[in-house]
Structure 1
């Protein structure tokens, strides 16, 4: 691996950058599905899932949007070798935490999913933490301009 901005980055760097972008684009797709839920799709949900969806305040969808769109910008920042990638991943992580904590505090998510409902949020937070760490590491190594 190289340590200067003028030199070539490792294959691992590009794999992480592409992963970050694709992962967060999937998040954008999930956000879009959330905010454009049709009555037909809503009818396919179980009653507890429907209660969570219907109990979700608008500000949680805003936090969701900030999390995924900031993550997309972070991924683009890595691909473009920009120092602000870490800032975008930090914003994404903070918005994700607001969304996850808010979902369990403001909706009946705990009643609907219980402790098992914490698995996916934990995975999302772990990935967000990794992307923030990686961007900061790349910045410290001089890979980002």
Structure 2
């Protein structure tokens, strides 16, 4: 019988996991605000932008939901030191990419929402890539099993 050795993660591992959970939790809150069309959500956008959001295809909304819920679940798996985190964060990244293809190339969100859309898009993609890389490194280092 073989045993899998697991080493204790460094202190900063937990900080990264907490940031990942907060970041993805904010994504879940944004998704729920959009899905339930809350006053706080509507207050972030102009009437024209809200109309455009209302016309968003179902596949994009599904990609958004998959990205944020897989991301938050992946962050929880990192906190629980489970390898499943890698697969969940991969799903999250793929869903992010699908959503961003729509936002950047189909509707040109930068022209609609302004230059802040480019910054947010870059941050979302970068965080998804970094979290996937981090989970892979955590597996290689034996921090998660």
Match of 1:93 in 2: 93
RMSD: 2.3
Question: What is the number of residues matched between the two proteins?
Answer: 142
Match of 1:142 in 2: 142
Unaligned runs of 5+ in 2: none
Partner of 1:122, secondary structure, is: helix
C-alpha separation in 2, matches of 1:60 and 1:44? 20
Kept in 1, the 8 Å contact 2:34–2:41? The answer is no
Unaligned runs of 5+ in 1: none
C-alpha separation in 2, matches of 1:115 and 1:28? 23
C-alpha separation in 1, matches of 2:64 and 2:83? 24
C-alpha separation in 2, matches of 1:100 and 1:31? 14
Match of 1:55 in 2: 55
Kept in 1, the 8 Å contact 2:93–2:129? The answer is yes
Could you tell me how far 1:23 is from its partner in structure 2?
A: 1.2
- The TM-score with structure 1 as length reference comes to 0.85
